[in-house]
Every structure is written in C-alpha cells, then in structure tokens.
Amino acid sequence: IISSEKDIRQLKKESYIEANDNTFLGKLTPNKFDGESIFNTFGQYGSKFSQISIFNKFSDYGNQFSQLSPFNKFSTTPPKVYLNVEFFAYLTVNTMINPRIDPENLLEWAENNVSKF
C-alpha cells in the first residue's frame, strides 16, 4: 500500500531535495521540462517566484537568512539531497557541513549524477 508521495518517490528511486522541515523542494532531474524538476524555471520548484523554491530569494527556502535555505552560510539545517532516494549530502553554502553540495554547482552535479528520465 502506497500511503504518501514520499513512498512513490521511493518506489521510483527518485533524486530530490527535501527541506529540514520535511517539505519536498523538487526533483533533481536535469530534465528542464519535468514539472517537478528544480531546474524547470516555470515549475513550482524552479520558479524564482514560488514559495517552495530554493531560487526564490524571499522564501524560507531561498532566503540567505533562513535556517531552511541552502544559501544561508551559517545554517545548520539546510536542505538534504537524496540520490535515488538515499541521503547523499546537504545542499548548502556552509563549508562547515559535510557531506555537502554547493547550490551554485547543483545543475552540474545533477547532470553528472542523476538520470534525465
């Protein structure tokens, strides 16, 4: 029995980002046409206007002062990156946290590590 979206992601072995408050922040597929990809600038997870996008500088997930944002260099609670549903690293500019992926290098990392489909 599938009881949640997280269960579905696990069955599909998806790669995605999840905030420390357990909010789904988008799939890491480099397919820019996928509606759930953070690299789809028109989708809810990739738009700089969406409240659940790390690219919205005014949202809790993109603000450089928010503890939930990968762009807060002092945050100890940045988003987590899951590769094929397994925790892989934290998404953060905070160099004191490891393992980590710098959000500025996320697209390149996804292109090298995540399937487009």
Q: Give rounded-to-5 percent helix, strand, coil for the chain.
A: 15, 15, 65
Whether the predicted pLDDT of 3 surpasses 80: no
| CA dist., res. 15 & res. 70, Å (int) | 17
| Residue 48 DSSP symbol | T
What local confidence, expressed as pLDDT, does residue 115 receive?
76
Whether the predicted pLDDT of 113 surpasses 60: yes
What local confidence, expressed as pLDDT, does residue 6 receive?
76
What local confidence, expressed as pLDDT, does residue 102 receive?
98
Sheet holding 24-27, edge to edge: 24-27, 16-18, 80-83, 86-91, 100-101
* Predicted TM-score of the model (pTM): 0.90
Whether the predicted pLDDT of 42 surpasses 90: yes
At 85-98, the pLDDT tens digits run 899 999 999 999 99
